[in-house]
A = this chain, B = another copy of it.
Amino acid sequence: MATSKEYAIGIDVGGTTTKFGIVNSKGEILDQDRIPTNEHENVEEFIDDLYAKLAPMIKKVGGNAAFAGIGMGAPNGNFYTGTIEYAPNLKWKGIIPIAELMEKTFGLPTKLTNDANAAAVGEFMYGCTKGVKNFITITLGTGVGSGIFIDGKILLGHDGFAGELGHTIIRPGGRMHKSTGMAGSLEAYASATGVRETAIEMLTEQPETESLLRNYTINELTSENVYECAMQGDNIANRIFEFTGQILGESLANFILFSSPEAIVLFGGLTKAGNLLLIPTRKYMEANLLPIFKNKVKLLFSELKEADAAILGASALVWDLEQ
């Protein structure tokens, strides 16, 4: 007979896809699946769909009695209130009491935080900063998310909204962010969307310079194309990563001055660029640090598989809840 409450459910609600799984306390994912997020006009239908997929998984390992609870990561998810508040990339508008609705449907205690915080919790419990008490994770995907650990705890701030580093301004008066309307934020540059925009800018500003990137139509251009062309030695493509790393590195230096972390973990689609991104990022980060911070902060890529990290991180909220 298994000891009771040895499992947790981890759910990562993304703008497009929601990934979920059954996780044990060692951080092993025993079962997982996904459903689309944006096909559900209201959150109740979304939760019903989740339940239809998860109920058989729960039953298989012994039913609700074997579960400590549910952990969820979601855009603008608030740990203190259990609500998703005005998430720009979800269809459900306003304030959604999703933790409460989940508890009603599943009959299990549910903890919520934002998706980037959940990823940071995953790194702390199971990743490359396992047990490191002060670190920052930066998710470089379609947007830029962040999760901040201070003294072994995720930083929430007085209202649960701390750690929105993707929206810090690094180029005042710079590139406009299409959904926030802010000028010059980190996310406008150091995201997959930002890399695409930098590519369009550089190709437009230097119409005479040859580049493999000119083989793509403007609609086809993606950060993946830029990566592939850079690997083939394309000059503009390489400069795009150099510039992206400069913006990211300067931002990381500012973040280090705030919380003096032991490590910064980069995560998400853009990290597939490897050294193309890591080398300039580290260079500009170090160049912008005071002597007392230089050559001290580890700059790492996450070693967790992306889909796993999101589920693991969300599920880890449950073990915290146990304490």
Binding site for B on A (CB under 8 A): 76, 85-86, 133-134, 148, 150-151, 153, 155-165, 167-172, 180, 182, 250, 253-255, 257-262, 288, 290-293, 296
Contact = CB atoms under 8 A, between A and B. Distances in A.
Closest 5 A-B residue pairs measured CB to CB? Answer: A157-B260, A162-B260, A134-B158, A158-B262, A168-B254
A162 B258 contact: yes
A169 B288 contact: yes
Contacts of A259: 148, 155, 157, 162, 258
Given A76-B292, A257-B167, A258-B255, A158 B133 contact: yes
Given A167-B290, A182-B288, 6 more contacts: A148-B258, A158-B261, A158-B262, A161-B260, A168-B257, A182-B290
Contacts of A167: 257, 290
B291 A86 contact: yes
A75 B261 CA distance: 20
A290 to B, nearest CB: 6
A170 B172 contact: yes
Contacts of A288: 169, 182
A172 B163 CA distance: 22
Nearest to A133: B158
Copies held by the complex: 2
Contacts of A153: 151
Contact of A260 (B86, B159, B261): B159
Contacts of A258: 148, 162-163, 165, 168, 255, 258-259
A106 to B, nearest CB: 27
28 contacts: A76-B292, A85-B292, A134-B158, A157-B259, A157-B260, A157-B261, A158-B262, A159-B260, A159-B296, A161-B260, A163-B257, A163-B258, A164-B257, A164-B260, A165-B257, A165-B258, A167-B290, A168-B254, A168-B257, A168-B258, A169-B170, A169-B253, A170-B172, A172-B250, A180-B290, A182-B288, A255-B258, A258-B258
Contacts of A255: 258
Contacts of A76: 292
Contacts of A253: 169
Nearest to A153: B151
A160 B258 CA distance: 11
A54 to B, nearest CB: 30
A17 to B, nearest CB: 24
Contact of A292 (B86, B133, B148, B260): B86
A8 to B, nearest CB: 25
A304 to B, nearest CB: 22
Contacts of A86: 291-292
